Amino acid sequence: MVAALLIALAALAVAGTAVTGSWVLVTIAGAGAVVLGAAALKISHSELLDSRQEAARDRAAQAQAYAELTEARTAENVEFAADMTGKVAKRDATIARLEKRLGDAASELAEARRELADQRDLTDEAQRAADRLTQRLADADERAGQAVVRVAELEAEVDVLTSQIHALEAQARTQARRPA
């Protein structure tokens, strides 16, 4: 603002002396205008430097704030990474444990299936043996029935033969009692 006033004052001085028509006054006014312009330039330059220094201080403060923020975020990131690493390790351990248990369960299942197949084979064999024994029992029952019938027939024959023997004995006794 001050620099602009100095430039305006120099322009008025040159214009004012130019109206008088005196070369000496115009030259003095021109020299004064150059001095005022240099002063205005120096003031503008100083203001520019001050504004740049202020901007540099602002940027330095921002950089410091960003550095502190970055440091805090880096610490948070390290903490988060450590936490996540722990969680991942814990989950990996859980997965490994579950995979082992799954493998054990698969082995147990395979063993149970083998035992079930063996038991089915034994059951089938026992059923076949039971079927054979049932058939043999039926055959034995039939033979026993036939034997009972045959025994009855033989007993009847024995009775007949016993009767005949008794009759013959009785006849022989009667003949032995008759005089000859």
pLDDT tens digits, one per residue of 114-130: 999 999 999 999 999 99
- Single-letter code of the amino acid located at 95: I
Do residues 33 and 13 make contact, with C-beta atoms less than 8 angstroms apart?
yes
Segments forming the whole domain that contains residue 95: 2-177
Query: From first to last of its 180 residues, what are the pLDDT tens digits of the chain?
Result: 777 888 888 888 888 888 887 888 888 888 888 888 888 888 889 999 999 999 999 999 999 999 999 999 999 999 999 999 999 999 999 999 999 999 999 999 999 999 999 999 999 999 999 999 999 999 999 999 999 999 999 999 999 999 999 988 888 888 877 765
pLDDT at 180: 58
| Domains: count for the chain | 1
Do residues 26 and 18 make contact, with C-beta atoms less than 8 angstroms apart?
yes
> Quick one: tokens of 141?
């029952």
pLDDT at 13: 82
pLDDT at 2: 78
pLDDT at 176: 77
**Cα 22 to Cα 17: distance, rounded to the nearest angstrom:** 7
Q: Which of 53, 10, 16, 12 is nearest to 34 (CA)?
A: 10
